[in-house]
């Protein structure tokens, strides 16, 4: 009896081991009938692919939201375009060659499509599925709200395949070059959002082709691709209807002065060694057209504490003001505002007194012009936010709006959520009116006005914040947004290293 039990135990163990060695892809589970569009697109390797249950990993269907709208005649004819986020929350889209029936589906429809037997291939530059009849398309729901993905043009140019057949929103887009009076949206136009140029295509027969162009607008629509002879994808943007082009009425005035860089933490003592680099976008005689520059430092101990009750004019240790009321800066040249030492990187470094210093002032021993206590640090080296604002004229009050502004860091008592804070202006980084929902957001940290530079580490290393970018005078806007360039200076760094040939490249006529 004992031997029989032992044999049975051995057989049971062997059977278990053999069962464990049996190969299976999904032990204890079932394959989903749905494959994400992200995974579907990855099956294409530059040649036609016939979709089978095997190639789809056991799946047979895709599910997504319709984004195409053929009612105003501006999308590639016969294409039903859908998107999903089924895979890792990556938004991906695909176009289906459905013929005339594609027009029967509207944005907000939810559909399930049986794709077994379909062919996937790139046709006219667009990756699409063919061989799918309407019987394989099931409408599950209608009227769903699907927000567009807000992206910048440089992201689309970098990864055109990822954004193809997806609904996007390009905000603050302007035409480049500036359109003539009465020019309409029909045809191929170039739009720029401050991050790059992209072709906007509107068919001449589209219902809104004769719509007059706007100086600046948000452009909703679908990204498609052309393909070059060498196989390179070239993206373009197709609005679906006239309502996809939303005019922005906020005034983007051409500033006469822009902020291009600054040294807030030179290597050694900061007192009278900090400076701000600026550029004139037109000839400026400061004795006739004076300006002012205000810095803010928001360390927790800075007084007055709390939210800046008088904005940039709060004074005390919070804000410090310079007047720019003499000197001359030719168009397209750098000039400087800062301490009296005029050294590139604090004590014992290169003398840059030969630069165009419009205002050099001993801020460590003198109060600011009109407000601001003497200070050893105009701008913080770490911690809470610091900032720079330039104003036309020398009167700065709670209501004063700068012509250019930049911030480093995000902490501190900056904005009370309603009407107390540091006013901003319309720049490459900030918007007085939210470009998406049109809500007023007049302060830093209000709405979308959250962009900031980051503090350099370690402190006291001698970094120069080199902002760069490209400003187009004809368009009256940044066509390449500023970004943080971190140049580590030495005691021997020369003036041309923080100016260089960029002085002639920054302005685009």
Question: How sure is the predictor about 509, in pLDDT bands with cuts at 50, 70 and 90?
Answer: low
Q: Which H or E run contains 507?
A: strand 507-508
Over residues 493-508, mean pLDDT: 76
Sequence-distant (6+) residues with CB within 8 A of 334 are 260, 277, 278, 279, 355, 356, 499, 503
Residue 501 pLDDT: 60
Q: For residue range 147-203, list pLDDT tens digits in order.
A: 889 999 999 999 999 999 999 999 999 998 888 889 999 999 999 998 999 999 999
Q: For residue range 222-240, list pLDDT tens digits in order.
A: 999 999 999 999 999 999 9
Average pLDDT, the chain: 91
Residue 3 pLDDT: 46
CA separation for the pair 177, 195 (Å, rounded) = 15
Question: How sure is the predictor about 24, in pLDDT bands with cuts at 50, 70 and 90?
Answer: very low
The least confident of 176-185, 325-334, 488-497 is 176-185
Q: Which domains does the chain have, with CATH numbers?
A: 37-141 (2.40.50), 149-247 (2.40.50), 250-509 (2.60.40.1260)
Residue 19 pLDDT: 44
Neighbours of 24 (CB within 10 A): 7
User: What is the CA angle 150-477-326, rounded to 5?
Assistant: 140
CA separation for the pair 426, 405 (Å, rounded) = 9
CA separation for the pair 276, 366 (Å, rounded) = 18
Residue 248 pLDDT: 87
Neighbours of 393 (CB within 10 A): 12
The residues pairing with 45 across neighbouring beta strands, listed in sequence order, are none
Which two tokens mark 45? 């390797």
Question: How sure is the predictor about 249, in pLDDT bands with cuts at 50, 70 and 90?
Answer: confident
Residue 158 pLDDT: 97
Residue 21 pLDDT more than 60?
Answer: no
φ, ψ at 225 (rounded to 5°)? -130, 140
Residue 23 pLDDT more than 60?
Answer: no
Residue 13 pLDDT more than 50?
Answer: no
Q: Report the chain's terminal Cα–Cα distance, integer Å.
A: 100
Over residues 418-447, mean pLDDT: 94
The least confident of 9-13, 173-177, 255-259, 311-315 is 9-13
| 72: nearest Cα among 234, 222, 248, 247 | 222
The residues pairing with 81 across neighbouring beta strands, listed in sequence order, are 95
Residues 142-168: b if buried by 16+ CB within 10 A, e if exposed:
eeeeeebeebbbbebbeebebbbbbbb
Residue 502 pLDDT: 54
Residue 333 pLDDT: 93
The residue with greater pLDDT, 1 or 130, is 130
The residue with greater pLDDT, 12 or 344, is 344
Which two tokens mark 475? 């368009």
Which two tokens mark 292? 């002012």
How are beta strands 386-392 and 470-472 bridged, if at all?
A: unpaired
State the DSSP string of 4-42.
Answer: HHHHHHHHHHHHHHHHHHS--SSTT----SB--HHHHHH
CA separation for the pair 451, 444 (Å, rounded) = 9
Residue 507 pLDDT: 65
The least confident of 42-51, 135-144, 478-487 is 478-487
- What is the widest separation between alpha-carbon atoms in the chain? 114
Q: For residue range 42-87, list pLDDT tens digits in order.
A: 999 999 999 999 999 999 999 999 999 999 999 999 999 999 998 8
Strands, E, within 176-253: which ranges? 187-192, 197-202, 217-227, 233-238, 245-247
Residue 438 pLDDT: 86
Residue 146 pLDDT: 85
Percent of the chain's residues with pLDDT above 90: 82
């Amino acid at each position: 009896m004992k031997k029989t039990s032992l044999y049975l135990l051995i057989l049971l163990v062997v059977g278990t081991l053999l069962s464990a060695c049996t190969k299976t892809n999904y032990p204890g589970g079932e394959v989903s009938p749905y494959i994400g569009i992200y995974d579907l697109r990855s099956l294409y390797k530059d040649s036609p692919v016939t979709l089978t249950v095997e190639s789809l990993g056991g799946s047979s269907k895709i599910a997504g939201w319709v984004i195409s709208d053929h009612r105003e005649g501006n999308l590639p004819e016969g294409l039903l375009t859908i998107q999903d986020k089924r895979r890792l929350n990556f938004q991906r889209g695909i176009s289906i060659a459905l013929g005339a029936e594609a027009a029967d589906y509207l944005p907000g429809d939810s559909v399930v499509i049986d794709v077994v037997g379909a062919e996937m291939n790139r046709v006219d530059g667009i990756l699409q599925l063919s061989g799918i009849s309407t019987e394989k398309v099931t409408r599950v729901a209608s009227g769903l709200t699907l927000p567009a993905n807000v992206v910048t043009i440089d992201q689309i140019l970098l990864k055109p395949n990822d954004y193809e057949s997806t609904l996007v929103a390009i905000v603050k887009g302007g035409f480049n070059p500036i359109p003539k009076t009465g020019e309409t949206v029909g045809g191929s136009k170039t739009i720029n959002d401050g991050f790059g140029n992209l072709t906007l295509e509107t068919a001449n027969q589209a219902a809104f082709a004769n719509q007059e162009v706007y100086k600046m607008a948000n452009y909703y629509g679908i990204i498609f691709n052309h393909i070059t002879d060498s196989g390179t994808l070239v993206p373009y943007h197709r609005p679906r209807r006239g309502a996809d082009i939303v005019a922005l009425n906020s005034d983007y005035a051409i500033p006469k002065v822009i902020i291009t860089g600054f040294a807030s933490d030179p290597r050694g003592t900061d007192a009278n060694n900090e400076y701000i680099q600026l550029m004139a976008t037109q000839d400026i005689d400061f004795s006739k057209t004076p300006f002012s520059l205000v810095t803010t430092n928001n360390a927790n101990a800075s007084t007055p504490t709390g939210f800046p009750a008088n904005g940039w004019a709060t004074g005390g240790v919070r804000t410090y003001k310079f007047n720019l009321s003499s000197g001359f800066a030719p168009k397209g040249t750098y000039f400087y505002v800062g301490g009296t030492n005029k050294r590139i990187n604090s004590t014992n470094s290169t003398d840059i007194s030969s630069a165009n210093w419009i205002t050099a002032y001993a801020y460590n021993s003198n109060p600011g012009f009109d407000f601001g206590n003497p200070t050893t640090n105009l701008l913080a080296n770490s911690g809470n936010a610091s900032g720079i604002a330039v104003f036309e004229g020398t009167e700065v009050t709670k209501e004063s709006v700068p012509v250019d502004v930049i911030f480093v860091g995000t902490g501190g008592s900056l904005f009370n959520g309603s009407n107390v804070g540091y006013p901003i202006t319309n720049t490459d980084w900030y918007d007085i009116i939210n470009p998406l929902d049109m809500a007023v957001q007049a302060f830093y940290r209000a709405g979308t006005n959250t962009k900031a530079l980051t503090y350099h580490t370690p402190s006291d290393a001698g970094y120069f914040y080199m902002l760069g970018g490209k400003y187009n005078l004809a368009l009256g806007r940044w066509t390449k947004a500023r970004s943080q360039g971190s140049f580590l200076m030495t005691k021997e760094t020369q003036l041309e290293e923080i100016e260089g040939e960029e002085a002639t490249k920054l302005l685009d006529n």
